[in-house]
């Protein structure tokens, strides 16, 4: 029975003090924070075992991680209230192996977004995506393998250089444009940060973290007050290494909206975040031909 109580207390401590888990060995802290919501899964199992063994102490101990989990993620379980919003944005890593660009676009446009950000646009597939976009998304820019389609005019479109050291100049996975919205101009960034690798030594994320720092510096220097970032960041919002970006931009925490992998999503690494704008609602869309699920958001200017 003691082992059940100790396990419950340990889970509660990790939930409450996950920032104290060191990142010095194998990026263990980031790994824990990537899957932090899933630490709630063992809690009902521990409670059931404690009940079966008729151990009051162990049963009471399971209330600690339950309270910690609800404190962090309980809001995700509350139905979203209808909030006013000014635009809808969609973010999707379409996958460079996606065999159905037209079907993907149809799925993305079902929510009638005002902005659509895509990553992993290959030169071969780009004409198919462009042709499939409805006429109201005539304003668009593609820089390297990332693109932005808009109902409203886009100006100042240019690549955003987020290349880590040692990566060639043909690697272009970021852009910046100014969307001239009815409520005023918004600087829109689209980014696809480098992937991480999980191996025997833990997470390997040096290039991703370097790219995030570069993007964070760009956002800090952005002269337009209102900023919207859409992208496959290969981070969850709980990951401490996202701090160069999450320290400046906010997103809603009202839903899990897991986006990866598409067949059995366990984490949201696709993000829609803003500065001086409010992401009021965020949810995952149905699967396309990608290994990511699209995510959509309501945004209030």
**Residues 26, 174 within the same domain:** no
**pTM exceeding 0.85:** yes
**Residues 171, 202 within the same domain:** yes
CB atoms within 10 A of CB 150: 24
Of 19, 48, 77, the last residue of a domain is 77
Is 188 domain-assigned? yes
Q: Find residue 300's DSSP bridge partners.
A: 278
Confidence class for position 39, pLDDT limits 50, 70, 90: very high
Distance in angstroms (rounded) separating the CA atoms of residues 55 and 1: 7
Distance in angstroms (rounded) separating the CA atoms of residues 107 and 132: 11
**Residues 177, 268 within the same domain:** yes
**Residues 115, 238 within the same domain:** yes
Per-residue pLDDT reduced to its tens digit, 16-34: 999 999 988 778 999 899 9
CATH of the domain at 155: 3.60.10.10
Is 82 domain-assigned? no
Average pLDDT, the chain: 94
**Residues 118, 47 within the same domain:** no
Considering only CA atoms, which of 79, 109, 80, 71 is closest in space to residue 92?
109
What b-and-e string marks burial along 249-264, b requiring 16 or more CB atoms within 10 Å of the CB?
Answer: bebbebbbbbbbebee
Specify whether the backbone of 26 is left (phi greater than 0), alpha (psi in -120 to 50) or beta.
left
Considering only CA atoms, which of 109, 37, 75 is closest in space to residue 281?
75
Query: What single-letter DSSP state applies at residue 162?
Result: -
pLDDT of the residue at 26:
78
Is 106 domain-assigned? yes
Is 126 domain-assigned? yes
Helix, coil or strand: residue 257 = coil
Per-residue pLDDT reduced to its tens digit, 124-167: 999 999 999 999 999 999 999 999 999 999 999 999 999 999 89
**Residues 60, 173 within the same domain:** no
Q: What is the dihedral of CA 171, 173, 179, 184, to 10 degrees?
A: -120
Confidence class for position 201, pLDDT limits 50, 70, 90: low
Confidence class for position 202, pLDDT limits 50, 70, 90: low
Identify the burial level of 38 via C-beta atoms within 10 angstroms of its C-beta, where 0-12 means exposed, 13-18 middle and 19 or more buried: exposed
What b-and-e string marks burial along 104-140, b requiring 16 or more CB atoms within 10 Å of the CB?
Answer: bbebbbebebbbbbbbbbeeebeebbbebbeeebebb
Alpha helices in the chain (DSSP H): 2-16, 28-34, 42-52, 56-61, 63-73, 101-109, 126-132, 206-221, 243-246
Distance in angstroms (rounded) separating the CA atoms of residues 207 and 211: 6
Determine what percent of the chain falls in helix, strand and coil, rounding each to the nearest 5. 35, 25, 40
What's the number of domains the chain is made of? Answer: 2
Is 282 domain-assigned? yes
> Which residues constitute the domain of residue 43?
2-77
pLDDT of the residue at 76:
82
Of 77, 100, 118, the last residue of a domain is 77
CB 146 within 8 A of CB 261: no
Distance in angstroms (rounded) separating the CA atoms of residues 62 and 58: 6
**Residues 144, 262 within the same domain:** yes
Per-residue pLDDT reduced to its tens digit, 44-80: 999 898 888 888 888 889 999 999 999 999 888 877 6
Confidence class for position 4, pLDDT limits 50, 70, 90: confident
Residue 88 has pLDDT above 80, yes or no: yes
**Residues 249, 139 within the same domain:** yes
**Residues 119, 67 within the same domain:** no
User: What token pair was written down for 9?
Assistant: 């207390």
Residue 198 has pLDDT above 80, yes or no: no
CB 253 within 8 A of CB 268: no
**Residues 139, 200 within the same domain:** yes
**Residues 54, 132 within the same domain:** no
Of 36, 54, 77, the last residue of a domain is 77
CA 224 from centroid of its chain's CA atoms: 23
Per-residue pLDDT reduced to its tens digit, 252-280: 987 899 999 999 999 999 999 999 999 99
**Residues 57, 107 within the same domain:** no
């Amino acid at each position: 029975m003691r082992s059940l109580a100790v396990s419950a207390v340990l889970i509660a401590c990790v939930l409450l003090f996950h920032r104290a888990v060191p990142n010095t060995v194998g990026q263990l802290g980031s790994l824990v924070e990537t899957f932090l919501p899933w630490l709630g899964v063992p809690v009902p199992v521990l409670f059931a075992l404690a009940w079966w063994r008729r151990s009051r102490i162990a049963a009471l101990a399971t209330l600690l991680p339950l309270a910690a989990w609800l404190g962090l993620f309980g809001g995700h379980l509350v139905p979203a209230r209808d909030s006013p919003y000014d635009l809808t944005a969609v973010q999707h890593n379409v996958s460079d192996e996606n065999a159905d660009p037209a079907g993907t676009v149809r799925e993305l446009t079902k929510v009638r977004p005002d902005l659509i950000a895509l990553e992993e646009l290959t030169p071969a597939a780009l004409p198919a995506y462009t042709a499939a976009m409805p006429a109201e998304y005539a304003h668009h820019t593609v820089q390297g393998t990332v693109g932005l389609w808009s109902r409203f005019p886009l100006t100042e479109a240019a690549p955003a250089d987020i290349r880590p050291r040692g990566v060639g100049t043909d690697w272009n996975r970021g852009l910046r444009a100014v969307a001239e919205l009815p409520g005023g101009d918004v600087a829109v960034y689209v980014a696809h940060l480098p992937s991480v690798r999980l191996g025997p030594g833990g997470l390997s994320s040096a290039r991703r973290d370097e790219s995030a720092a570069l993007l964070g510096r760009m956002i800090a220097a952005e002269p337009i007050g209102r900023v919207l970032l859409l992208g496959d960041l290969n981070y969850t919002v709980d990951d401490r290494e996202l701090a160069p970006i999450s320290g400046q931009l906010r997103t809603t925490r009202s839903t899990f909206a897991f986006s990866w992998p598409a067949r059995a999503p366990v984490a949201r690494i696709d993000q829609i975040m803003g500065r001086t704008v409010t992401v009021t609602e965020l949810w995952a869309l149905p699967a396309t031909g990608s290994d990511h699920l699209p995510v959509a958001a309501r945004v209030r200017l």
